[in-house]
Amino acid sequence: MSPRTPVRAKGLADGLAAFAHVSPATDSAEDVTPRAKSPAPSSASRKRKRSFTLAEAPAGWRATWDLILELRADRTAVVDTMGCESAAASCADEGERAFHSLVSLMLSSQTKDTTNAMVMKRLREHGLSVASVSAMSEDTLRDLIWGAGFGNNKAKYIKAATQIIVEQHGGVPPATMDGLLALPGVGPKMALIQLNVVHGLCVGISVDTHVHRIANQLRWTGDEGTSMPEKTREALESWMPQDQWPCVNVVLVGLGQEVQTEKAKLLRKCLACSDPPRALELLATLGVNVERERAKAQL
């Protein structure tokens, strides 16, 4: 399967209301309007060429997806206020916004969004910028990102990536998959989110542990499922309409967070949605003991 044409998406903050850039009921990726000129496949795109094949889209996926979008329309999950999108939201300068988003993503691995937000706040208070990170020592940066998982490695990666940004990109983070993947500590998941959030360019579905788990629970990855997030990405991209890709990560990450830590709130949303029985069935599929949680929440 050849690489697909990138989708220009509105910023995630534009909403649905919160996710308004997602078409409500388009079952064909061919309905997506391509960019005026499609770029030639990059080496990164060729490396990411999909080998996964699903015969057809999973039965009933659209109704399930629309229900998930409805449940996530309030955008009250942790990722909605403390993810990389919000980390860069206050930046007026596009280059600064791109750098703040990139640093947040580099810190995010093995780090909760709440901790990531705390570390980013500390960095901003110390004047987070390409220039400031270039000037500070690795030890100073390590102290500033204290609390983030694998802080020693992340300090090295952020310093090295910043040096490349200065020397090869004029002080502004690259805006291509190739450029981002060439930065130390940046993998496909981070690069895909960076392009989507900062540049409104979606070239693939970013799959983290929440997306990987939920996609398999819903059997959106085939009957045998997938064992690795990259295979989950390949499975989802093989059948999901491309116009839906931009918000898959933030929608499913937020749902996963609510399933894990805000079950009562999620149950209330299910009971108030357009199809409560189906919504409660969805929660059961995602591993929630609905009756026990309803009793605990007195619902």
Q: Which residues are catalytic?
A: 189
Q: What sections of 4-150 are H helices per DSSP?
A: 43-47, 61-71, 78-82, 84-87, 94-108, 113-125, 130-135, 138-144
DSSP state of 89: T
Q: Please, are residues 181 and 191 in contact by the beta-carbon 8 Å criterion?
A: yes
Rounded CA-CA distance 43/141 in Å is 32
Residue whose token pair is 């030890």:
139
DSSP-based three-state secondary structure for 73:
coil
Residue whose token pair is 């059961």:
284
Residue among 139, 140, 132 nearest 96 (CA): 132
Q: Please, are residues 185 and 106 in contact by the beta-carbon 8 Å criterion?
A: yes
Paired residues of 8 in beta bridges: 201
Tokens representing residue 71 in the block: 């449940």
Rounded CA-CA distance 289/250 in Å is 24
Q: Please, are residues 18 and 74 in contact by the beta-carbon 8 Å criterion?
A: yes
Q: CA dihedral in degrees (234, 235, 238, 239; nearest 10)?
A: -150
Q: Please, are residues 12 and 83 in contact by the beta-carbon 8 Å criterion?
A: no
Tokens representing residue 16 in the block: 């649905």
